Amino acid sequence: MDRRSLLKLLAAGALAPPFSPELLAPLRTVHASPSNATTLNKHQHATVVMLADLILPRTETPGALDAGVVDFIDRILTHWYDPPERDRFLEGLSQIDVLSNQRFASDFIALSPDQRHEVLVHLGDGLRRDVESLANHPRGYRGSAPEPNHNFYFTLRQLVLVGYFTSEIGFAQQLHGQVIPARVDFCAPASPESPGAEE
């Protein structure tokens, strides 16, 4: 799948629930793609871990971290985002620490759970204001949610949700769908144990 098609599916998967198996199946290949090249450094990775866990925590069902969402996000950043998109995401991520330091004089990963929750509420309020602004002054948006490059929290939620629902855990347990294999080899020879194989 080419980059443009995957990113369109990524946006559609987040903006058009319910999540359909047909829509999400191509995105499942991202979970199985090579992960040797990474974009997030140690601090950025730890920040995304905490944010993803707040957005989709483990309850009686698995959460974002159980589904490997942070690795999914890193793969998207590394293999699918172009440099300007990647830079926008990383700049938005750095602003989380700026906000955390303004409010609590510490980076996000060093905050208490209540303080991290307060930062997330602040981000959610900002996203709500952006959506309301577009609804009141659509300029062709017709009241839709902001585009990903307009709001970091929107982009992050998009990646967390789509990453979760395209994982084996999210797809099978939350959507109650049949797990779609990341790769199907239609030309593989039948093994002697395979049904229908010649004896």
Per-domain residue ranges for the chain?
3-174
Two tokens, residue 149:
């490059």
Span 189-198, average pLDDT: 47
Span 63-81, average pLDDT: 90
pLDDT tens digits along 148-178: 446 899 889 989 988 888 888 876 665 554 4
Question: Nearest to residue 75, comparing CAs of 43, 44, 37, 45?
Answer: 37
Question: Nearest to residue 31, comparing CAs of 178, 188, 174, 171?
Answer: 171
Question: Nearest to residue 10, comparing CAs of 24, 22, 21?
Answer: 24
Of 37 and 67, more confident: 67
Taken in order 31, 33, 34, 40, the sign of the CA dihedral is negative
Length of the chain: 199
Cα angle, residue 48 at apex, residues 85 and 105 outer, rounded to 5°: 105
State residue 196's pLDDT score. 46
Q: Which amino acid is at 74?
A: D
pLDDT tens digits along 90-147: 999 999 999 999 999 999 999 999 999 999 999 988 888 877 776 666 555 554 544 5
Q: What are phi and psi of 191, to 5 degrees?
A: -80, 160
pLDDT at 2 over 50: no
State residue 35's pLDDT score. 66
pLDDT tens digits along 13-60: 444 444 555 555 666 666 666 667 689 999 999 999 999 999 999 988
State residue 147's pLDDT score. 52
Are 151 and 91 within 8 A, CB to CB?
Answer: no
Q: Which amino acid is at 106?
A: S
Measure the CA–CA gap between 135 and 53, rounded to whole angstroms.
30
Half-sphere exposure at residue 89, Cβ-oriented, CA atoms within 13 angstroms: 24
State residue 111's pLDDT score. 97
